């Protein structure tokens, strides 16, 4: 992950998006 390149808000959005994807995949 390019955390350094992303701003805190964008990073949080990406993390939430990733969590949503993993939840959908697991479900």
- What digits encode the pLDDT tens for the residues 10-20? 778 888 888 88
Distance of alpha carbon 27 from the chain centroid: 18
Token pair for residue 13?
């959005």
Token pair for residue 21?
């994807």
Q: Where are the alpha helices (DSSP H) in 1-27?
A: 8-26
* Higher per-residue pLDDT: 16 or 5: 16
* Higher per-residue pLDDT: 14 or 25: 14
Q: What is the pTM of this model?
A: 0.45
User: How far is 27 from 11, CA to CA, in rounded Å?
Assistant: 24
């Amino acid at each position: 992950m390019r955390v350094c390149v992303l701003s805190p808000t964008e990073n949080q959005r990406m993390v939430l998006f990733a969590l949503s994807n993993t939840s959908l995949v697991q479900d």
